[in-house]
Amino acid sequence: MNRKRILVVDDEEAFTRGVKANLKTLYNVRVENKGSRVCDIVKEFRPDLILLDVMMPDMDGCQVAHELKDCPICQDIPIVYITALVAKRKAGDGHKTKVNDYPCLAKPVSLEDLLACIKANVKSDSKK
């Protein structure tokens, strides 16, 4: 079985390690802690979904998303923001709230919400 690829981008290394630990039995997970390196990693890893923090010191998530959408190889990859900028009550079920037209999960995120969000946003017919 070809497992879907998830790229987790957040400057907090403990957060990315935790997400990877929780998802690695279901998905092929790669993490990145610097926003400025995301585009190169996406071109190589070809994720089926990008979980992207908004607030990062070197290049924020909005800048990363804009850069990805300008790249023909990357522009069709779904992006979900995971951020502390959105209140949990506003984020609701975790994949219907949008920030800059992207679905958004509020930190701290439960594993249940994370899995539901991934299922809702990963294209089932993705072929790479």
Residue 13 has pLDDT above 80, yes or no: yes
pLDDT tens, residue by residue, 41-50 = 999 999 999 9
Q: Which CATH number fits domain 5-121: 3.10.20.30, 3.30.1490.20, 3.30.365.10, 3.40.50.2300?
A: 3.40.50.2300
- Confidence (pLDDT) at 77: 94
- What pLDDT digit, counting tens, does each position of 87-107 carry? 554 444 444 445 567 888 888
pLDDT, tens digit (0-9, with 9 covering 90-100), for 20-74: 999 999 999 999 999 999 999 999 999 999 999 999 999 989 899 999 999 888 8
Distances (CA, A) of 107 to 3, 8, 39, 53, 65: 26, 14, 24, 10, 19
Q: Where are the domains of the chain?
A: 5-121
